[in-house]
A and B are shown apart, each in its own frame.
Chain A
Amino acid sequence: MSLINEDEFRVCPKTNFRVFRKAEPLMIANAVVAVLALAIGGVAALIMGIHKMPIRFSFIDNSTYYQVVNIHGINMLILWIVWFEIAAVYFASTAMLNSKMASMRLGWGAFALMLLGTLMLEWTIFFDHPNSTVMFTAYVPLKANPFFYLGYILFAVGVLVAGINFFLTIYQAQKTKSYPHESLPLAVYGVFVAVVIAVQAIINGAIVMILAYLYSYDIIAAPNADFWKQVFWGFGHTAQYINISATAAVWYILINIATGAKPLNEKYSRFAFMGYLLFTVPVATHHLIVDPAYSMPFKLINATLIALALAVPSLIHAFVIPGALERQIREKNHSEGLFSWLRELPWNEPAIPAVIWGILLFGIGGMLGSIQGTYQLNMITHNTLRINAHFHLTVVAGTTMAFMGLAYYFIELIPARKIIGGNLKVIQLHLFALGLAILTLGMFIAGVQGAPRRTATYDYYTSLGVNTFAWQIGLWLLGIGAIITVTGGALFVGLIVISLFFGKKVDKEGSFDSPIPTNVEEEEAHTNKLEAPGSMSIGFVFMIAFIVFYMFTFLVLSRGWKIGVPI
């Protein structure tokens, strides 16, 4: 057994995990910056949603719109998610393994680097418009303020340092046997995979951002635009698999906290995490299917065929997690109906709406993504608002909602404050999910008819004869959805911030007499019956919808002009 210095640790009275005291302020600091970024990105989202609505009561001009898109993208996709992930990474490697952090100095060093990078990014995108309005993607030869790229680089180096600290902490926990088995807990394993993918993403990101930094000072000529784009997405899209690995890990944590559900099969879930690691490498090519620089076999194999393999892990998690909930509820309540377990889930726990809505919307987003990543279908989807529908469903409904769910438990476990507002936290998640559903439906409706993304207004197109009338219902939904989602998001920020400072303090100090939490070995009863028939039925419906949708999109494609000669 491990030797725990009782001054350096406290025992969490709820979970009996040994929490390393010095790591707590670091986790809280990372999470606080994350929530601040979420708040900034949320204000930007509201402004964008209102500006996009086909009625002119927007209070910004078209030029400022692009600045707001830039602020929204960088704050949400990079700052909110990565800052929160770093907090979660520390939580998984210390608290969940009852371990010390390998180095507090590295931890705070990473924090300082990331904060410096964050401030540089914020400074350039807020005060250097339009010069630094180059978007999250920043494709060269667009040229921003050098500090924009330097901010990106410092932030990435900070994340890398945090990642090294994570690996060292895992190593130390293994060596000191601070947790009672050789295999990592499933959720920590998922986070581990996420950090390995992060290292790969950061290397790609560092290459392009250093090139762009040198280019912004005119030290080198503009790098080849498609090479830059390819390597950029080696960071940009790879990073989304950090997010989904972390999200799936959080889903496993949440269902376990709320109901005690275990994965249907440990090996199956671990295989799924490993799948993300193996198949992520060529994912950047998604973004180059309709680009000149690469040949058909390269694009077809990397962007479409290997990407199909990448759908496997997500499809596994999306079945196993509701399946685990179903099995748990069936065992506990002896529910017989096909879907009665859904009603019997503890819906008063924030974990349940975060996971159920998350998986449902993430599944639809994944479906859209698979269609867009299909070699031919990309030609009718690339850079339309459909793309935004895809990643708002995966990254916002999936990742952000999972993180919101986790944050409610985090506040009660680490700073040990009670979340104010009673059931408001559950209502918040429902509101957020509902808003997202409307928002992404609007994006899809407008995008499928050709509305391009990242475009301030379509008025100019209309005046020159593009029929944008049919886009408008989509744009209305987009605006209304954005308003509802941001209301839900604002409620989250409010609940978290107020609870953190003014929430009722809850008991922090448990007793060292209570044992370190460990798994209770249960012999699995072998049965020939399905364990999760309800989830399986929903899964079948989902797959049939997927096939119909996929084939229908090919039908739409076939109506267009002949283009690209068949070989």
Chain B
Amino acid sequence: MSITNPNKNWWKVPLGKDEKIWSGVIILMILMMGSMTVGWVFTGDQNPPDKFTSISNENFLSTATSENVASKGVFPGKLSNGNTSLDRFTSGDIYLVAQRFTWFAPSSDLNGSTANGVKFKVGLTYRMHLGSIDVLHGFQIVGDNWIISLQVVPGYDYYFDFTPTTTGLFQIICNEFCGIGHHTMLGFLEVVA
């Protein structure tokens, strides 16, 4: 009984047919799920990035500002909604910074101001660097029928390679609570043909 003592020698009672079948089902299930996820690491096109550099918040901001420049292939431009952007139409690096309550792309070409978004060409592969200069933020792109969600953590330059395969203007929202203006934190990512 579950609320009083068990049978004497309970550990000698063999598993019944029900338990054996059910254990088999569980093991099959787990093997299936395990091989799916491990297999996807080696063959799938969508895997969580795991590359980073430890960097102070100040250094991340200054690196981003000096790397997002024309001489490295990043040019100031305009998004289709009129906001300023940094455009990159060749493969390469781009830096995006999170700060309460905004996403921005800094550049020394912008004379002290920053861009609200970034713009890419469809089909090229980019290396995006994400960093926060205050608290934790959540980088989330809301696509048409998919999303990407990554954690942005102060003290880290989190970088990953990605290839946008659909065009359009996408919003970047923050999905980690970062303060009482959290719901106003927005940036843009545009992909053009």
Mask for B134-153, Cβ within 8 A of A = 1, else 0? 11101010110111111101
Contact A300 B46, CB 8 Å, known A139-B136, A290-B149: no
Task: Of the listed stretches A27-35, A204-212, A223-231, name the one at the interface; the rest are far from the partner chain.
Answer: A223-231
Q: A383-B140, A566-B47 are in contact. Are A532 and B153 (CB under 8 A)?
A: no
Query: Given A267-B10, A292-B52, A374-B33, A563 and B46 touching (CB < 8 A)?
Result: yes
A86 to B45, CA, bound (A): 47
CA distance A546 to B28 in the complex (A): 12
How far does the Cβ of B150 sit from chain A's closest Cβ, in whole Å? 5
Q: How many chain B residues have a CB neighbour from A under 8 Å?
A: 84
Given the known interface contacts A256-B2, A256-B3, A530-B18, the answer about A376 and B47 at a Cβ–Cβ threshold of 8 Å is: yes
Say whether B193 faces chain A, with CB atoms less than 8 Å apart: no
| Residues in chain B near residue A539, CB distance under 8 A | 22, 25
- A380 pairs with B146, CB closer than 8 A: yes
Stretch with Cβ within 8 A of A (4 or more), from B69-77, B90-98, B171-179: B171-179
> Quick check: B16 and A66 within 8 Å, CB to CB?
no
Contact of A293 with B153 in the complex, beta carbons under 8 Å: yes
Q: Which residues of B contact A374 (CB under 8 A)?
A: 33, 36-37
Q: Chain A contacts of B23 at CB under 8 A? A: 316
With a cutoff of 8 Å between Cβ atoms, the chain A residues found around residue B11 in the complex are 266-267
Contact with B along A433-474 (1 / 0, CB 8 A): 000000000000000001011111110110011110000000
B163 touches A562 (CB 8 A): yes
Most buried by B among A135, A374, A378, A557: A557
- If A452-B175, A561-B163 touch, does A379 touch B183 (CB 8 Å cutoff)? no
Q: Are A66 and B184 in contact (CB under 8 A)?
A: no
Which residue of A is nearest B50, CB measured?
Answer: A296
Q: Does B44 contact A (CB under 8 A)?
A: yes
Residues A550 and B142 in contact, CB atoms below 8 Å apart: no
The 0/1 profile, CB within 8 Å of B marked 1, for residues 554-565 of chain A is 101111111111
Number of interface residues of A (CB under 8 A): 119
A330 vs chain B, min Cβ distance (A): 12
- CA–CA, A183 and B33, complex, Å: 36
CB distance from A88 to the nearest CB of B (A): 13
Tell whether, in the assembled complex, residue A381 and residue B149 are in contact, meaning their CB atoms are under 8 Å apart: yes
CB pair A257 B3 closer than 8 Å? yes
Which single member of A224, A379, A532, A567 contacts B149 (CB below 8 Å)?
Answer: A379
Least CB distance from A263 to B in Å reads 6
Q: How many angstroms between the C-alpha atoms of A395 and B166 in the bound complex? A: 39
Contacts of A18 in B (CB 8 A): none
B155 touches which of A185, A226, A529 (Cβ 8 Å): A226
* Chain A stretch 540-561: residues in CB contact (< 8 A) with chain B: 540, 543, 546-547, 550-551, 554, 556-561
**Whole-angstrom distance between the Cβ of A26 and the nearest chain B Cβ:** 21
Cα–Cα distance between A319 and B125 once the two chains are bound (Å): 48
Q: From A466, which residue of chain B is reached at the shortest CB distance?
A: B171
Among the listed B2, B142, B154, B171, which residue makes an inter-chain contact with A141, where contact means beta carbons less than 8 Å apart? B154
6 pairs from A and B in contact (CB 8 Å cutoff): A454-B176, A528-B17, A556-B146, A560-B146, A560-B148, A566-B42
- Residues on B lying within 8 angstroms of A by beta carbon are 1-8, 10-11, 13, 15-19, 21-23, 25-26, 29-30, 32-34, 36-38, 40-50, 52, 81, 125, 134-136, 138, 140, 142-143, 145-151, 153-158, 160-166, 169, 171, 173-180, 182-184, 186
